[in-house]
Amino acid sequence: MTERVNLVAVSKYHTEKDILAAYSVGQRHFGESRVQELQIKHQNLPDDILWHFIGHLQTNKVKYIIPYIYIIESVDSLKLLREIEKCAAIYDRKVNVLLEIHVARESTKTGLSISQCRELLADGEWKEMSHVCICGIMTMATNTEDIDILKEDFRTAYDFYKEVKQEFFYDNDDFSIRSWGMTHDYLVACDNGSNQVRIGTAIFGDR
């Protein structure tokens, strides 16, 4: 059985003209990683674009994107989740989020460790948050061309997704997104549990 994979066109550092070119052939999901850049693009581009926030998000900037953001893929702390809940309540919105986990071997990558993510979920405070919808897991693999390492990273994320699905979201259809795979590793990602890829370079060229 082949599952559908959602394509997020990662448009960070690319122009509004480039985004409109993709939009005109039907692309609606776009990914941005900086608040200021997203604010400007959101103002100037069509309203039916589904904006994914994929970069590290500071709590003091959450309020700027809450009125229109479709999904925040990079939730890496309880503090950030609380701020999203607080701001979304003010705007009377329900905001989709993914929990970003760190599986890569580089220490530079952001995200919750698997044990931190387990703790966040086990703690249960999120269950009282009526303005956030936890829709799945996001991750980035090690920055390498080594397929065995990529595979292992994606498998770690996929196994964790399944564990969390079973333990906390078995009766919740919203929790279904596995967001992994970028330009250089999306084929390996799709073979290893991904149902959402975030691709920039292969669509728009070098940044």
In the complex, the residues that contact ligand PLP under the rule CB under 6 A are 10, 12, 33, 54-55, 140, 182-184, 198-201
Query: Which residue, 148 or 206, is less far from ligand PLP as judged by CB?
Result: 206
Q: Which residues contact 117 (CB under 8 A, 6 or more apart)?
A: 99, 101, 160, 164
Cβ at position 145, least distance to ligand PLP in Å: 12
Query: Which residue, 66 or 182, is less far from ligand PLP as judged by CB?
Result: 182
Query: Which residue, 7 or 120, is less far from ligand PLP as judged by CB?
Result: 7
For residue 57, which phi and psi values (nearest 5 degrees)?
-115, 120
Using alpha carbons, select from 11, 3, 8 the residue that is nearest to residue 190: 3
CB 194 within 8 A of CB 203: no
Cβ at position 90, least distance to ligand PLP in Å: 27
Residue nearest to ligand PLP (CB): 200
Rounded CA gap, 27 and 117, in Å? Answer: 32
Cβ at position 67, least distance to ligand PLP in Å: 22
Query: Which residue, 158 or 181, is less far from ligand PLP as judged by CB?
Result: 181
Q: Which residues contact 172 (CB under 8 A, 6 or more apart)?
A: none
Element at 163 (helix H, strand E): helix 147-168
Cβ at position 9, least distance to ligand PLP in Å: 9
